[in-house]
Chains A and B, each alone.
Chain A
């Protein structure tokens, strides 16, 4: 038999879920205001995941931060424009808790985005999670590139100011077709050892020099690579792959934008592996450069993965994760632009110089290439099952 309080929680959860999905409609907003209270949303959040005791739900309303604490209830709202609110919020974490267990602070994505830069002290006491209308709550982590959402232990997405692509989990679960993957080496002819290592890691005949992507005029041309996933590994300076000879002089420079545009035109996917401007203009501190050896090793493991998510996750490690950065959220079924940054979590100050950026552009990483028109009419992928990951 279901207890009345349990039933109330379940009903509230369903109500919030339905209203969240209808968010944006005037009737939904009105209904939400009348029928759904902050407490109900908190209960829904608590019900969605088996959160540790003492977890809290926070929601920004104007300059007020409303907080509900599990087992305590509604606490006096915090004034966001007054000093000390962070400390008061952090102080709501229960003092007595089991070893290794941290209470969760759950909030809606827009609240998390609004408070992004101010959650540092709070995150020392709480595991902070953010959720939106579609996606299950994602844990917030602080990386040198800023506050991020954890997709997998080695794949992150910056919190940013934009919504999470509704089909991001679906895209990450797409199966990779090994025969579609091509590794392009942009090391240049004077770096034979780097070429050897990449070829040994990536396997025979999957690799080719980047010159293969150039036409007679020297412009990037991906003709014949329609539907392929091109992983371009090389030395990046500013916004270009730069090939230098043994004297250190530039032999060739290929702007990433040019490759991205051509990839989009040819429905190919270009994944750029190379340090980006974080290296040159990033933070101060120690340097942890990424070499072709590390990339080759990571690539060898990543190529064994079956899905795009697994592939991107394996390009990073829990210590040096990759960050998926939505460039422009053209999150339709066939195309999504995002870039991936590899960062080091070991030392915050050291991380920027060790960043490897992987930019993924214009998809078709789907096994059978771009879907037919009829496929586009298929229903959208179902939202993930409720529950904190």
Chain B
């Protein structure tokens, strides 16, 4: 593949997401890329550079490989997120159903207790109310992400949308061939996908987060 003069572009914030996701999901692949492109080894290390990065990428091949690796890592991340969040969402849904049933039983029980005047039935009704409340709380706990007003349902929706974006980007990557400008645009798109997936992984507690991070993320949303 060739390099197009005038298409040089400094690496920077627009690549950090891909590199961070590769470091988390496919560290061996990231190390292979760094070894293959020693001139860009610094840029292929995880971490955000705290200043203007004057390094330029002139290799369409690097963009192509980075985009492919990023998309593969994104697929793995999506799989991990779905494997973790889907069962949680299903569990929460079942618990809500049980809570609703317990609630319905309670209302029927209270009525019967009032009619019959049974003390046992009154206690049973109270316990049923307590159970319904507890089930509701557990369901809410399972549905809530680490922080923020969103639910894991919305995270799942976003994740599925990103899966569609990954497929579209993969197709576009096949068509881009050695077009450096198009490849660069694609890498930026992949970077956006990877960054969003990392955020979902943190919010969905796929990646452990400190309480300070939780607090920060809450304030940002």
Chain A positions within 8 Å of B, measured between CB atoms, are 185, 187, 189-196, 199-200, 202-209, 211-212, 233-237, 244-248, 273-276, 279-280, 287-295, 353, 355-356
Query: In the complex, A208 Cα to B14 Cα: how many Å?
Result: 23
Q: Does B51 contact A (CB under 8 A)?
A: yes
Q: Which residues of A contact B134 (CB under 8 A)?
A: none
Tell me the chain B residues, 1-16 only, with Cβ under 8 Å from chain A. 12-14, 16
Query: In the complex, A366 Cα to B213 Cα: how many Å?
Result: 28
Which residue of A209, A274, A280 contacts B219 across the interface (Cβ within 8 Å)? A209
Which residue of A205, A236, A247, A292 contacts B47 across the interface (Cβ within 8 Å)? A292
Q: Does B53 contact A (CB under 8 A)?
A: yes
Q: Say whether, besides A193-B46, A247-B191, A289 and B51 are in contact (CB < 8 Å).
A: yes
Q: Which residues of A contact B217 (CB under 8 A)?
A: 189, 192, 195
Q: Does B77 contact A (CB under 8 A)?
A: no
Q: Assess the A248–B14 pair: CB atoms within 8 A.
A: yes
Contact residues of B: prevailing secondary structure: helix
Q: Say whether, besides A207-B212, A209-B216, A211-B219, A193 and B198 are in contact (CB < 8 Å).
A: yes
Tell me the chain B residues, 36-57 only, with Cβ under 8 Å from chain A. 42, 45-55
Of A211, A233, A291, most B-chain CB atoms within 10 Å = A291
Chain A nearest Cβ from B97, distance in angstroms: 34
Q: Does B172 contact A (CB under 8 A)?
A: no
Q: Assess the B202–A196 pair: CB atoms within 8 A.
A: yes
Chain B nearest Cβ from A102, distance in angstroms: 35
Q: Which residues of B contact A212 (CB under 8 A)?
A: 219
Query: In the complex, A276 Cα to B52 Cα: how many Å?
Result: 8
Q: Which residues of B contact A280 (CB under 8 A)?
A: 51-52, 54
Q: Which residues of A contact B45 (CB under 8 A)?
A: 291
Which residue of B13, B191, B198, B212 contacts A205 across the interface (Cβ within 8 Å)? B212
Q: Say whether, besides A192-B198, A196-B213, A235 and B49 are in contact (CB < 8 Å).
A: yes
Q: Say whether, besides A233-B50, A291-B47, A206 and B192 are in contact (CB < 8 Å).
A: no
Q: Which residues of B contact A356 (CB under 8 A)?
A: 50-51
Q: Assess the A234–B213 pair: CB atoms within 8 A.
A: no
Q: Which residues of A contact B47 (CB under 8 A)?
A: 194, 291-294
Q: Say whether, besides A200-B210, A204-B210, A208-B216, A353 and B54 are in contact (CB < 8 Å).
A: yes
Can you spell out 24 A-B residue pairs with CB atoms less than 8 angstroms apart? A185-B216, A190-B17, A191-B17, A191-B195, A192-B199, A193-B46, A199-B216, A202-B212, A208-B215, A209-B219, A235-B13, A246-B196, A247-B188, A248-B14, A274-B50, A274-B51, A275-B50, A279-B53, A279-B54, A280-B51, A289-B53, A292-B47, A292-B48, A353-B54
Q: Assess the A195–B12 pair: CB atoms within 8 A.
A: no
Q: Assess the B51–A275 pair: CB atoms within 8 A.
A: yes
Query: In the complex, A209 Cα to B219 Cα: how many Å?
Result: 8
Q: Which residues of A contact B195 (CB under 8 A)?
A: 190-192, 246
Contact residues of A: prevailing secondary structure: mixed
Q: Which residues of A contact B194 (CB under 8 A)?
A: 246
Query: In the complex, A19 Cα to B89 Cα: how many Å?
Result: 81
Query: In the complex, A200 Cα to B211 Cα: how many Å?
Result: 9
Q: Does B160 contact A (CB under 8 A)?
A: no
Query: In the complex, A196 Cα to B195 Cα: how many Å?
Result: 13
Q: Assess the A190–B52 pair: CB atoms within 8 A.
A: no
Q: Assess the B46–A293 pair: CB atoms within 8 A.
A: yes
Chain B nearest Cβ from A278, distance in angstroms: 8
Q: Assess the B50–A290 pair: CB atoms within 8 A.
A: yes
Q: Assess the A276–B212 pair: CB atoms within 8 A.
A: no
Chain A nearest Cβ from B18, distance in angstroms: 9
Q: Which residues of B contact A247 (CB under 8 A)?
A: 14, 188, 191-192
Closest residue of chain B to A233, judged by CB? B50
Query: In the complex, A234 Cα to B49 Cα: how many Å?
Result: 9
Query: In the complex, A355 Cα to B50 Cα: how many Å?
Result: 9
Chain A nearest Cβ from B159, distance in angstroms: 15
Known: A192-B198, A194-B48, A294-B47. 19 other contacts (CB 8 A): A189-B221, A192-B202, A193-B24, A200-B210, A200-B213, A204-B210, A204-B212, A209-B216, A246-B13, A246-B14, A246-B192, A246-B194, A248-B14, A248-B188, A275-B51, A279-B51, A287-B55, A291-B48, A353-B51
Query: In the complex, A236 Cα to B16 Cα: how many Å?
Result: 16
Q: Which residues of A contact B14 (CB under 8 A)?
A: 244, 246-248
Q: Does B220 contact A (CB under 8 A)?
A: yes
Q: Assess the B13–A248 pair: CB atoms within 8 A.
A: yes
Q: Say whether, besides A199-B212, A246-B192, A287 and B50 are in contact (CB < 8 Å).
A: no
Query: In the complex, A203 Cα to B212 Cα: how many Å?
Result: 7
Query: In the complex, A358 Cα to B42 Cα: how many Å?
Result: 22
> What 4 pairs across the A-B complex have the smallest Cβ distances?
A275-B51, A291-B47, A248-B14, A279-B51
Q: Assess the B216–A292 pair: CB atoms within 8 A.
A: no
Q: Does B118 contact A (CB under 8 A)?
A: no
Tell me the chain B residues, 54-85 only, with Cβ under 8 Å from chain A. 54-55
